[in-house]
Structure formats: structure tokens, C-alpha cells
Structure 1
């Protein structure tokens, strides 16, 4: 599929309309080659701040910048034609004030061409969601296990396991729905809670380690392709080992260069064919 095809890109309202009809399929991408391959099969592609860990080998998602996210989102948008592209707001770019959030969200969308932004936070961030939505910026909320809260949560731990914690996350999701979020990502939460939120909300839920009952699912692409650091999260499933193919190709290339079998004259410029070959 080419980005020049006649296929129209999915819109935010179209994603919302999938609730109760079809499951929403989503994966992450941050570079053009991956996004191009995913595009025909995805309803939504998330340019996640997981790019920090997956693409830059950082320990967490806290250090990636607004400019980096904008550049990655632009690459994904330019190389796709079908999926709705959503981009993460990096840590520290929207928590200070409503005005800061709008300025940076507007910059992300204007500079990348993405259709919506995603932000993390419980009901305390619902006011920010409302402020952005009222000003024309679609918001995908993210509750439960929130990587940007890694320091306050004490690591990447499952959330909503106690009744009190589950009730808090449930109310977080409701608050973002009331504020106008078009969907909510539910990450790393107890399965009964994921099911309960999905049944209660009239907007889609996108699960990642939540529940099969969620209206859609999202995973980090590298986790399903065998391109990560070898650690597969409990909620992910490897669907292929692309890493093994890359290693095999790299090994064959290295051997060919070292034994002189590559390149040949066929791979060179300005070489006239031998008379016997013409």
C-alpha cells in the first residue's frame, strides 16, 4: 500500500464510532519504515513517548523532548495514509498550566500533521483535557499504569489491584470522558477493572495489559516483532522474530564483505559489460 493511494485516513470521530461495532487495532511507531508497514492494518498508530526507551535506550520515558516527538510524529504521518496518527505529549510539556498544554499540543499537531494528542494523568488532568478539546485538539487520555508517573508509582507496576485503587482509576476514566476525551488508554490494570470501565464508558477504551473486553488494543510494536531488549511484558505476545532475520542478514552481509563476494562489478557504476555478456 502506498501513501499515495486513494484510501482516506481514519478520523477521530470514526475511531469513536467503532465502540460496540469493531475492535480498534493500534500499535506504536516512531520511524517511517515501521509505520509504512503497519499502516494498512491499523486503525490508529501511536507515536508514543515509549520512543525514549525503544528508540533511544533511555531508562524511562521522562527525558524525550517535545521537538523529538514532533519529528518522529512527522515521519509517521508522512509515511502513512490510512491510520489515525496520535502523538504523546512528553513529560513536563502539559502539566504546568492549561496555556502550556495548549501551546505545546498545538505545536505538536501543527508541526507533525498528527490528528490528536495523548496525555497521561488521573482526574487532576481532566481540566487540561477539557481545555484542549474546547480549543479543537482531540485528546486520548491515559490512566492506570502511567509511565510518566514511574517515580511516584515506584516503577512499572500493575495498578487497580485494591478496591480503593480500582475506584480511583475508574473515576479517572470517567473524569476524562466528561472532559471530552475521545478515548481512554487503560494500561496495566486489573482485568475486572478494565472490563468495568469499558462497560461504563460511552467512548472507546484502548487496552494494554487491561482486558480482552476493551474496545481496542495497543502494544509497543517492537515487543511483538522481537526487536526489543529481550524482555517481553506479561501483556504482550511476540508474533514474529524479526530480530532473528536482521541478525541473519547482517551476518551474511558481513561474511560476504569479508570474503570478497560482495560487492561485485554488478553493484558498481561505470563498468562496461564484457563482450561475451552483451
Structure 2
């Protein structure tokens, strides 16, 4: 599983043969620039879900229910999940937490005929309670609580669970105890599957702010951010120097025999400087074409 947030990332995830595309509330951080996932709204999520669904046709599409869209009541959870499918074109939804109210919400969503993925361990929407983005389940008591929550979500009808930032033995135990698949993120190799954030695994975010929140568990499979920065810098230099656009990137020409009437029309209307500029531009185009032909012959 990989996150996707827009049409291009949806296309890439699809073409790579990724099984599941998660339109995660992490969009708040990696796309909108927030420090946490909390500010993103259901309407925000629906916009991103729609875009991803147009690009990712093969993967199972999972829409993250954002903070504030399912906590008030099971009915609110069902209403939000329904919008994810009807308006966002998702196949399923994901929600965080394993306490009683979250289990009730998951059960209501499942009973409404909507596939729901659970999420235990580090639940970013609860960082104010957890004390920040910190690993969970590190003591025996807390590890057993993670298992308890996982079993409750399974009983509520979840088809899968995300296990985030857990010690590998804890994730292995939870995965073995469940009959539904687990998807790990910072939880070791024993989970049924793995998920990473699109921007993280591609190394897209190359600036000081993002360096502070790039997770330790993430492997960068590319450094796309460096490629992007280099390309933008080269573009800026070429525009400043006049190297871009060259004739090769100025493909549109006046229709045959229309240059002279155009120049005469400009002069007739008093645009003498404009006529001179147009004439010089035409000469440059002609010289560039001639030079290109000579190069081709050589």
C-alpha cells in the first residue's frame, strides 16, 4: 500500500502495480504544509479522493476519514464513510483508534455495507493525547492494549488493520493473533503488508521543515526532490540567460506568406517598434531552422 493524493500520484501508483492506494489524511502535511494531520477536513479529503480515483483504476482505493468526521457518533461515521464512497469514488475507508467509541463507529460503518480498515499503534489524529509522533506499545501493558484494540476492531468488521510505529515483536504478535491482514508502517517485517507515504519513499521533500518530520523507518527509494530542485534551477538560469526558449521550443509559425502583411499592418497602425521586433524574431527563427538543417546533414 502507498499513499496517493492527486491524479499524477494515482497514475504512478496504478502503473507500478501497487495493490492498495490510500488517500491519507497525511495530505495535510505533505501537500498542504501543516505540521499535523488535524487541520484537513472531510471536504478536503473528498477533493483529493476524486483526483486519485481518476488516475488509479487498478488498486483498491482507501479513503482516510479525517479528524472530526467520525468521532461524534456512529451515525456521523456512517455518513462520512458514505460520502467517501459516493462522492470520493473510494472502495473503502480507514479510521484511527481502538477505544470503545471507535470500535462502535467501525461496526456501524461495516454494518452499513462499507469496507473499513482500522488503524492502531501510533494514531496521528490523537497526538495531543499520545504526546506527539511517538512509537507505541513499548511496555508490556501497552503492547497488550494494542492487541486488545486490534481484536476489537476485527470483531467490529474491519477487513484490515494498519499497525503504525510498533516494536516488531508486538506487530508480529498482533498479526498472528488476527485473522485479517495487517499493514505495517514502522512496525517491522512481520505484518501482512507494508505502507509508506508517497512523498517519503520518493524523497520528494528536500527542505528543512520536512526534514524534521521524515520518519526514521522510511526508506527512500529515490531522491526525486533533488531532481526537481535541479531542474527548476536549470530552468531559471536558462530563462534568465535567454537560452530558453530556443527555436526548438518555439514551434508555432505564421501561416505561409503572412509575415509581410502582418508587418505592414503593424506599421500602418503606428506600431513600428513592434514591427521591428516581429521581423527580428522571424529572422532568428529562420537562422535557427537553417542551423538545425546543417547540423542534421553533418
TM-score bracket for the superposition, by shorter chain length: 0.7 to 0.9
Q: Which has the higher contact order (CA 8 A, sep 6+)?
A: 1
Contact residue 124 and residue 133 of structure 2 kept, 8 A: yes
In the TM superposition, what whole-angstrom CA distance separates every residue of 1:198-248 from its partner, at most 9, and x where no partner exists?
111110000001120100000111111111323431211111100111111
Partner SS, residue 95 of structure 2: strand
Contact residue 123 and residue 173 of structure 1 kept, 8 A: no
Pairs within 5 Å for 1:147-162: 147-162=124-139
Partner SS, residue 114 of structure 1: coil
Pairs within 5 Å for 1:112-261: 112-124=88-100, 125-228=102-205, 229-231=210-212, 232-261=214-243
Matched, 1:78 2:54: yes
Which structure 1 residue ranges, 5 or more long, are not aligned? 1-25
Pairs within 5 Å for 1:42-81: 42-81=18-57
Higher helix share: 2
| Alignment correspondent of 1:32 | 7
Please identify, of 177-186 and 262-271, the stretch whose mean Cα deviation from structure 2 is larger: 262-271
Displacement of 1:271: 4.2
Partner SS, residue 155 of structure 1: coil
Partner SS, residue 262 of structure 1: coil
Displacement of 1:99: 1.0
The RMSD of aligned alpha carbons is 1.6
Structure ID, larger Rg: 2
| Alignment correspondent of 1:106 | 82
Please identify, of 250-259 and 226-235, the stretch whose mean Cα deviation from structure 2 is larger: 226-235
Contact residue 123 and residue 171 of structure 1 kept, 8 A: no
Partners of 2:187 and 2:126 in 1: how far apart? 18
Partners of 1:63 and 1:244 in 2: how far apart? 28
Contact residue 10 and residue 54 of structure 2 kept, 8 A: no
Equivalent pairs, count:
253
Partner SS, residue 212 of structure 1: coil
Displacement of 1:265: 3.8
In the TM superposition, what whole-angstrom CA distance separates every residue of 1:102-127 from its partner, at most 9, and x where no partner exists?
11111111111110000001132111
Which structure 2 residue ranges, 5 or more long, are not aligned? 256-284, 294-298
Partner SS, residue 31 of structure 2: helix
Partners of 1:214 and 1:141 in 2: how far apart? 14
Partner SS, residue 186 of structure 1: strand
Partners of 1:171 and 1:123 in 2: how far apart? 9
Please identify, of 257-266 and 188-197, the stretch whose mean Cα deviation from structure 2 is larger: 257-266
Report the TM-score, using the length of structure 2 for normalisation: 0.82
Please identify, of 111-120 and 229-238, the stretch whose mean Cα deviation from structure 2 is larger: 229-238
